[in-house]
Amino acid sequence: MSRTRVRVYLFTYRRNGTLVRSIESLRRQTFGGWVCEIHNDEPTNIFPADHIASLGDARFTVVNHPANLGPTKTFNMAFGGCPEEFISILEDDNWWEPDFLSTMLGAMDEHPEVQVAWANLRIWRESAGDQWTDTGQTVWPAGDQAKLLHFPQYRQAYTALHSNGAMLVRNSDLAQLRTPEAILFDFAETIRERAYRHPLLLVSLPLANFAQTVSTGRSASFKYRQEHCLLLIDSFLQCVPISAAGAEKLWTEVRGNGYRSYLMLMYTGLCCRSSRKLLGKATALEWFNFILYNIRHPSVLSGCLRAKTVYAELWHYLLENTKARVREQEQRS
């Protein structure tokens, strides 16, 4: 029996069917030195406890929350400290390949300076009738090489590089990785990534599987999303010098993310002096669409103007952690 090196936090909420798949993917790991806490965030659901009892596997424990905590508070529980060397998060709709833990541990052992590593993910799409289709796509280009990613990467201004459901985190300073609770869970990965020590380590092998589910607990509120994007982008640009070429690269990446995704850059540039340089990269058509959108939805702009006050704790978290990442890079140079 392998010595216990990893504590896996498996968070579940009303997904009994896919939970079984996640649990089985953990039990099939070629590395057996793990323990797992299953956190059930639906107090009335007895299935997780009953299913684990039926397995007779002492590596599992079930924590039934006395009340529904929501995803942000629940995921913060993974960063409360534990005896093991590493922690990992397995979401109830995702699953791992058998060599996930053994490969990730090997990568972390080769890079003792790294706090967090994550694996590439295959993307699966759910359809009616609990049918799953392999899209043939991966989150990153597939390969067999590990890659160190240093801060800053321009994508980190508005999104995360790492993935919660495919990561291994070294057990050091975990409490500092807890995010403020008053945030949209959509942005939890991106916000927490500012607190990870860099470099980050990407293992390009697709060792995990990401589920595009029919239903999701993530927010669809455009207004709140723009407010969070503003805080992310402006905290980045206040700390990271960006050239004209860098601003253009950021615009190019954002434009590739779908319909009117560039609006987040325009709101940030308009509301934040340190990000004003972003406005010069917008096209005439983008300005027209921006003005038209704000005539129809004036509350979005007013929300963005108040975002640093309304989300004061989050703004402080992002700003201080982004400054820390910049200092790390300066010390390394």
Tell me the pLDDT tens digit for each residue of 130-140.
Answer: 789 999 999 99
Tokens of 240: 């990271």
Q: Is residue 147's pLDDT more than 70?
A: yes
| Judgement on whether residues 40 and 165 belong to the same structural domain of the protein | yes
Tell me the residue range of the domain where 229 lies.
222-332
| Judgement on whether residues 72 and 186 belong to the same structural domain of the protein | yes
What pLDDT is attached to residue 115? 98
**Which residue is listed with tokens 């697709």?**
206
Q: How confident is the model at residue 159 (pLDDT cuts 50, 70, 90)?
A: very high
Mean pLDDT across 191-211:
97
Domain harbouring 16, CATH code: 3.90.550.10
Mean pLDDT across 170-183:
95
Burial class (CB in 10 A: 0-12, 13-18, 19+), 2: middle
CA 33 centroid distance within chain: 25
Interval 302-333: pLDDT, tens: 999 999 999 999 999 999 999 999 999 999 87
Mean pLDDT across 141-158:
93
Q: 193, 212, 231: which is the final residue of a domain?
A: 212
Query: 3-class DSSP state for residue 152?
Result: coil
| Judgement on whether residues 145 and 23 belong to the same structural domain of the protein | yes
What pLDDT is attached to residue 219? 56
| Judgement on whether residues 51 and 172 belong to the same structural domain of the protein | yes
154 CB-side CA count, 13 A? 15
Mean pLDDT across 146-175:
95
Please give the DSSP secondary-structure letter assigned to residue 326: H
Torsion of CA 190, 155, 232, 226, to 10 degrees: -100
What pLDDT is attached to residue 109? 98
- In 3D space, the residue among 235, 221, 147, 148 whose CA is nearest the CA of residue 191 turns out to be 235
CB 271 within 8 A of CB 300: no
Q: How confident is the model at residue 204 (pLDDT cuts 50, 70, 90)?
A: very high
Q: How confident is the model at residue 245 (pLDDT cuts 50, 70, 90)?
A: confident
Q: 212, 244, 264: which is the final residue of a domain?
A: 212
Q: Is residue 127's pLDDT more than 70?
A: yes
Q: How confident is the model at residue 260 (pLDDT cuts 50, 70, 90)?
A: confident
Query: Is residue 273 situated within a structural domain?
Result: yes
| Judgement on whether residues 237 and 317 belong to the same structural domain of the protein | yes
| Judgement on whether residues 93 and 57 belong to the same structural domain of the protein | yes
Burial class (CB in 10 A: 0-12, 13-18, 19+), 130: exposed
| Judgement on whether residues 139 and 260 belong to the same structural domain of the protein | no
| Judgement on whether residues 255 and 120 belong to the same structural domain of the protein | no
Cα–Cα distance between 7 and 84 in angstroms, integer?
Answer: 6
| Judgement on whether residues 134 and 39 belong to the same structural domain of the protein | yes
What pLDDT is attached to residue 271? 97
| Judgement on whether residues 206 and 289 belong to the same structural domain of the protein | no
What pLDDT is attached to residue 61? 97
- My answer on whether omega of the bond before 48 falls inside 30° of 0, hence cis, is no
Interval 8-40: pLDDT, tens: 999 999 999 999 999 999 999 999 999 999 999
| Judgement on whether residues 183 and 248 belong to the same structural domain of the protein | no
Q: 194, 212, 230: which is the final residue of a domain?
A: 212
Query: 3-class DSSP state for residue 45?
Result: coil
What pLDDT is attached to residue 220? 59
CB 195 within 8 A of CB 321: yes
Mean pLDDT across 160-172:
96
Q: What is the mean pLDDT of the chain?
A: 94
What pLDDT is attached to residue 1? 58
| Judgement on whether residues 157 and 248 belong to the same structural domain of the protein | no
Mean pLDDT across 238-257:
90
Q: Is residue 216's pLDDT more than 90?
A: no
pLDDT exceeding 70 applies to what percent of the chain?
A: 98
Q: How confident is the model at residue 70 (pLDDT cuts 50, 70, 90)?
A: very high
What pLDDT is attached to residue 218? 54
